[in-house]
Structures are given as structure tokens and as C-alpha cells.
Amino acid sequence: MSRFREAKERHRGITVEVREDFGRALRTFSKKVQDSGILKELKERTAYESPSERKQRMRKQARKRWEREVEEMIAVGHWHKDKKY
């Protein structure tokens, strides 16, 4: 196997083929990067997050998940706003 082929196989990443419209290709590439979560991971790794900040963030995420779940249950009819649980 040639060195070029080895390098090509090692460095697979997000690619977009530009056919006609560069703007469309750029939007497609941006969407792929966003969906992959690369930028989110980069932002998380750039700065140190103390354990207390991490706990606070995780609690906030859990609260959001719970509120979303309650909203779905209210919409389906399995939960009532006025009733105390």
C-alpha cells in the first residue's frame, strides 16, 4: 500500500463534494459539522470545568429533560397540572 493511500485512509473526516454551488456545499458542510458535535466537544475541551460547575450543568440538563417529559405526559393526558403528586 502506498503512503498516500495510508494517509488518506487514516484522515477520514467530514467531506462535501462541491459540484456547482459553493454556498450550498458550505451549508451542507456546516450542517454535517453541527450534527457530528465536533464544535460542541471542542468548546467543552477548551476551558477547564470544575466539578461543581459540571454538577450544576448536569442538574440543569436533567431538569430540562424532566420538564420536557412532563409536557409530553400533559399532552397525552397522563399528567394533570392541578394535581399534586
The pLDDT profile of the chain, 85 residues, written as one tens digit per residue, is 556 555 555 557 888 888 888 999 999 999 999 999 888 888 888 989 899 999 999 999 999 999 999 999 989 888 877 777 6
Give me the residue label for grid cell 463534494: 17
pTM passes above 0.75: no
CA distances to 60, 62, 74, 81 from 68, rounded to whole Å, are: 12, 10, 10, 14
pLDDT given for residue 68 in this prediction:
94
Give CA 32 to chain center in angstroms: 11
